[in-house]
């Protein structure tokens, strides 16, 4: 197979990977992007396309799928090439370039690599319940792809993090919501915590704590009730049409572990001044990277993309001075 040559290879086509394309494009660096999913957008498209996001500058609220679409529109002038439904199996150095070999046989040569793999290959942490598989994808789900599917339903949401609380708030407009968590306090943004308590006080959401999922009752994949149990063994039955389980994602960074990178707890250690890993020429941005004071926020990932691309410039254009201009004066040119 012919070898593809580019300036920057980006591993991951989620929002952070897409914004890395933009930052590289503004510096006239061409990109090829590789992702294991069949479509761009990462978790925003595959896990929660209709989840509202509140911390994107200039957008008081934007749906995850709309953010992905806006990012795609933003990078259109730079004509990136996408290699989807495949993952990078091997990374090696050949002269001044890196060679990336993918699972479908593509070979990409790049002067620099940006790893924007987020949580890596992800899948939901499933609750340990009997008969769970019988109900999955019928009345037990780990994501919300279309809010309207839940209109008028009795929906139980299990979990205490941001996803659980955010969806409880969002779906309270159209469904009968019960949120269950094993602790009395939720692990979410303070503003969301205040909002869910306010909805509960107004009778728009039922909060059941400290309880855990114990049993699913129903037939042929159609849920009728969910049994909850507290830590003293007391049980409560709740009529339920839909169970949404948000117990986080199982993270697997796959072959990245074999590339000689400095990895701590499945995160890549980087120099925050440049976003470079211990392997010169390989950079990491977004949730997969770690450094003192790191904030796992999407806007932090966007900033990291700018830092990485400016650090990469001299690798792509050695000896050339970078005359940085603001986008307001430079504009966007392919």
Question: Is residue 51 predicted with pLDDT exceeding 90?
Answer: no
DSSP-assigned letter for residue 128: -
Q: How confident is the model at residue 48 (pLDDT cuts 50, 70, 90)?
A: confident
Q: How many residues would you count in the chain?
A: 334
Q: Which of 103, 107, 67 lies closest to 87 in space, CA to CA?
A: 103
Confidence of residue 330 (pLDDT cuts 50, 70, 90): low
CATH assignment at residue 319 = 3.50.50.60
Residue predicted with more confidence, 277 or 166: 277
User: Residue 1 pLDDT more than 70?
Assistant: no
Domain containing 154 equals: 126-245
Q: How far apart are CA 322 and CA 314, in angstroms?
A: 8
Q: Does position 317 have pLDDT exceeding 80, yes or no?
A: yes
Is the pLDDT assigned to residue 324 strictly greater than 80?
A: no
Count how many domains the chain has: 2
Q: What pLDDT does 203 receive?
A: 96
What does the mean pLDDT of the chain come to?
92
Same domain, yes or no, for 34 and 113? yes
At residue 326, the pLDDT reads 64
For residues 38 and 84, the answer to whether their CB atoms sit within 8 Å is yes
Same domain assignment for residues 101 and 146:
no
pLDDT of 118 above 90: no
Judgement on whether residues 255 and 118 belong to the same structural domain of the protein: yes
pLDDT over 90 at 123, yes or no: no
Give the pLDDT mean for 30-36: 95
Do both 213 and 312 map to the same domain? Answer: no
- What pTM does this model have? 0.74
Of 245, 268, 290, the position where a domain reaches its end is 245
Q: Are 290 and 270 in contact (CB under 8 A)?
A: yes
Q: Which of 245, 274, 292 is the last residue of a domain?
A: 245
pLDDT band at 262, cuts 50/70/90? very high
- pLDDT on residue 136: 94
- pLDDT tens digit string along 197-239? 999 999 999 999 999 999 999 999 999 999 999 999 999 999 9
**Sorting pLDDT into bands at 50, 70 and 90, what band is 37?**
confident
Q: Which of 70, 13, 73, 72 has its CA nearest to residue 46?
A: 13
What does the alpha-carbon distance between residue 232 and residue 256 come to, in Å, rounded to a whole number?
44
Same domain, 164 and 230: yes
Percent of the chain with pLDDT over 70: 95
Specify whether 240 is located in the same domain as 269: no
Pull the structure tokens for residue 82. 């996408």
How far CA 185 is from CA of 179, 181, 190, in Å, comes to 12, 8, 11
Specify whether 229 is located in the same domain as 189: yes
pLDDT attached to residue 220: 94
Q: Long-range pairs for 94-100 at CB < 8 Å and ≥24 separation?
A: 97/5, 98/9, 98/281, 98/282, 99/3, 100/9, 100/11, 100/34
Report the alpha-carbon distance of residue 161 to residue 246 in Å, rounded: 8
pLDDT of residue 164: 93
Asked if 261 and 324 sit in the same domain, the reply is yes
- The least confident of 44-48, 245-249, 296-300 is 44-48
pLDDT at 99 over 80: yes
239 and 278 both lie in a single domain = no
- My answer on whether 43 and 132 are in the same domain is no
Contact criterion met (CB below 8 Å) for 94 and 224: no
| C-beta separation of 258 from 279 below 8 A | no
Do 68 and 138 share a domain, yes or no? Answer: no
The answer to whether residues 51 and 22 belong to one domain is: yes
**In the predicted model, what is the mean pLDDT of residues 80-88?**
93
Instruction: Give the residue from 245, 275, 303 where a domain finishes.
Output: 245
């Amino acid at each position: 197979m012919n070898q593809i040559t580019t300036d920057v290879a980006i591993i991951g086509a989620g929002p952070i990977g897409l914004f890395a394309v933009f930052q590289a494009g503004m510096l006239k660096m061409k990109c090829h992007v590789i992702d294991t999913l069949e479509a761009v957008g990462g978790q925003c498209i595959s896990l929660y396309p209709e989840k509202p996001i509140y911390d994107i500058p200039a957008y008081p609220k934007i749906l995850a799928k709309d953010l992905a679409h806006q990012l795609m529109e933003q990078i259109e002038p730079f004509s990136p090439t996408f290699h989807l439904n495949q993952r990078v199996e091997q990374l090696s150095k050949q002269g001044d370039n890196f060679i990336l070999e993918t699972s479908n046989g593509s070979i990409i040569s790049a002067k620099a690599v940006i790893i924007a793999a987020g949580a890596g290959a992800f899948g939901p942490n499933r609750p340990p319940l009997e008969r769970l598989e019988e109900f999955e994808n019928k009345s037990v789900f780990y994501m919300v792809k279309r809010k309207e599917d839940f209109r008028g339903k009795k929906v139980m949401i299990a979990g205490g993090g941001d996803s659980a609380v955010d969806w409880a708030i969002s779906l309270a407009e159209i469904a009968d919501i019960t949120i269950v968590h094993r602790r009395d306090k939720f692990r979410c943004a303070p503003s969301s915590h205040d909002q869910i308590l306010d909805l509960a006080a107004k009778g728009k959401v039922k909060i059941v704590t400290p309880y855990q999922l114990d049993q699913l009752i129903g037939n042929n994949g159609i849920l009728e009730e969910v049994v909850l149990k507290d830590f003293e063994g007391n049980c409560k039955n709740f009529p339920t049409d839909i169970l949404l389980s948000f117990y986080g994602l199982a993270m697997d960074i796959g072959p990245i572990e074999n590339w000689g990178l400095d990895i701590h707890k499945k995160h890549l250690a980087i120099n925050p001044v440049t976003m470079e890993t211990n392997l010169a020429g390989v950079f990491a941005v977004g949730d997969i990277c770690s450094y003192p004071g790191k904030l796992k926020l999407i806007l932090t990932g966007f900033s990291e993309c700018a830092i990485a691309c400016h650090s990469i410039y001299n690798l792509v254009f050695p000896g050339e001075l970078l005359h940085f201009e603001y986008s307001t004066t430079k504009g966007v040119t392919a």
